[in-house]
Structure 1
C-alpha cells in the first residue's frame, strides 16, 4: 500500500513549539533556547511515529550507500536530525524577520550572481529540503537590484508578504502560494524573470494536485519520485535553471549555486526524455550535497514511497 502524500502530513504542532523557542531565544538568549529545545523536540519526536520511521529509512539507505561514512542508522542519529531541524526552523525565522549577516554566508558564486543581477538575467533556482533553503531567501541582500520570488504550498503567502513588509520593509522577497502552474501564474513569472528576477522552487517534493507530473530517479540506491514542475516551468519561462543548496557549517552557511541548463528543451517527442535527464542530474546533485551534510535532511515522510 502506498504511503500518504507528503502534503497530508501535519507539522503544525511542531511549528507552534518552534515559535515558542524563537521567542525564548530572542527574549532570553541562545542558552535558554538550547536548554528548552530538547524537551520540545523530544515530545514531537516521540509523537511523530511516521516522521521517526521515515528518517530511519533515510539513514538506512544513506548508511548502506556510503558504508565508509560516519553516519549510523539509529534512533539517536534520527533524534539529532530532529534537533537540527528545530534549529534550522529558528534560523528560518531569523532569516525572514531579522536577517542573516553576510559574514555568516560562504557563497563562492556570489560574484556570478552579482553579474546576473546587473545584467538583468533572471532564472529558476531549484532548491530542496536538504539544509536550510530559507537562508537563501535573503539572497536579495547580496545585491540591491535582486528580487526573489518563492513558490510555496502554504495558504498564508499573502499574509506572510504583508507581515514581511511591516517587519522588514527592505525585503526583496515575495512568496506566491501555488499548487500547480496555471497559465496566469506562468505569465506573471515570465514577466518577473524578464525583469531579471529569480524564481525559487523546491525539486524534492512531488506536486500536490498535478497527478502524474513526476519522473523517477535514483537517489541513495533506490528510485524516488521527483516533480517535473520546476523544469516545465523553466521551459515556459525560457530561462536558465540552476540548483541551489544551503548547508549549515561551523562558520555559518555554505551556499552552492550550480547551473543545471541554459534552457529546458521541449521538442516534440523529446520532452519526457529531456526532463528525465534534468531530474536525474538534480537527484545526483541532491545526493552529492547530502553527503556533505547528511544530518540536515528534513523530509519527514516516506520519501521513496509517495502516493500521488
Structure 2
C-alpha cells in the first residue's frame, strides 16, 4: 500500500525561513563562495535524509528520460548522481534568488527570449496576469524585471514562509520592493483588489504548477510527460475574473547568465457557466504542454520535489479516464 501523499505546502516549505536566514548571514560575512563550500555537506545530509524528495527527484528525471526517448537530455537512465545534481541546482537557485533581489545579477548576463518582449508588456499600459511555475527561478525573473522596468508586480503567495523571505531580504536591503499577497481563496474582496491592480496597469503573478494549499481537491487533470497530473484551477478562474491578457513566464539558468522567457497565452479568458470545466481543462492542458516542453530542456531546474502525479483519488481518475499509459 502506498503511503499517504503529503501536500507540497507541508513538505517543501518547512525549513525555508531558517535556511534563508542562515544563507544571508553567511553571504554577508563570507560571500557566495563561502555558502557554496558550506552547502556541499549540508546538501549531502538532506539528500540522504529526505528519501521522499530524493525519490520524487529521480521519478521526475526518469520520466523525462523515458518520455523523450532517443532525444533524452540524459545519456542513460538517471540515478542517484543525477538526483544529487538536481538537489545541487535547487540550492544554487536559492543563492541566485538572494543575488537577484539584492541587485547582484548584472543585466548584461540576462537575455530576453520567448515570443513576447517584456518591454511590450511593460509599455502596453495594460495590466496582465503572469503565470509562472517552479521550473527555473521566477524570483530572479521578478527581481531582474523589477530592476529594469518601473512596473508594480503583485505576487500571489501560498504560504507565510514566502512573506518571511520578503522580510528577511528587506533586512538586508531597503531597495527590495515586493508586494506579496497572501491569498487563501478567491473571495470577492480579493477579486476587487486584484482587479484594481489590473486597472492601474500592474502585473499580478501566480504559479500554475502547484495545486492549492488550502483546497487540494480543486484540481484539473492534464497530461504531463505522458501521464495525468493534477493542476490547480486557480490561475484560470482568476484570469476569467480579471478579464485581462494572460502571459507565461520562465527564467532559466544558462552557463553565462539567465534567459527570461515570456510567452503570450490568451488575450482574455471567458468562462460561460456551461463550458467552465471544459475551458479550464483546455487551458490547463495547453499550459502543461508548454511546461512539459521546457522542463524536458531544463530537467535539473524543475523544483517540485514531491510526487507531481499523485493526489488522493488519482487511481480512481485513471480508472474512470481509461488512461493506461506507462510512458
Length-normalised TM-score, structure 2? 0.86
1:247 is the counterpart of 2:255: no
1:222 is the counterpart of 2:205: no
1:231 is the counterpart of 2:236: yes
Question: 1:93 matched to which residue of 2?
Answer: 98
Native 8 Å contact 2:155 2:206 kept in 1: yes
Question: 1:33 matched to which residue of 2?
Answer: 35
1:117 is the counterpart of 2:119: no
Native 8 Å contact 1:217 1:280 kept in 2: yes
CA shift for structure 1 position 173: 2.4
In structure 1, runs of 5+ residues without a counterpart are none
After superposition, give the CA deviation of every residue in 1:32-73 in whole Å (9 maximum; x if it has no partner): 233221101011111111101111111121111012224232
For residues 211 and 269 of structure 1, what CA distance do their matches in structure 2 show? 23
Question: 2:149 matched to which residue of 1?
Answer: 143
Native 8 Å contact 1:129 1:299 kept in 2: yes
Measured on the aligned residues, the alpha-carbon RMSD in Å equals: 2.3
Which of 303, 308, 320 lines up with 1:303 in the alignment?
A: 308
For residues 81 and 255 of structure 2, what CA distance do their matches in structure 1 show? 21
Question: 1:46 matched to which residue of 2?
Answer: 48
Question: 2:325 matched to which residue of 1?
Answer: none
For residues 86 and 136 of structure 1, what CA distance do their matches in structure 2 show? 17
Give aligned pairs, total: 307
Structure 1 segments of 4 or more deviating over 4 A?
Answer: 156-172
After superposition, give the CA deviation of every residue in 1:48-103 in whole Å (9 maximum; x if it has no partner): 11101111111121111012224232011001010110010111122223453211
1:285 is the counterpart of 2:302: no
Native 8 Å contact 1:88 1:132 kept in 2: yes
Length-normalised TM-score, structure 1? 0.91
1:259 is the counterpart of 2:280: no
Q: Which moved more, 1:155-164 or 1:91-100?
A: 155-164
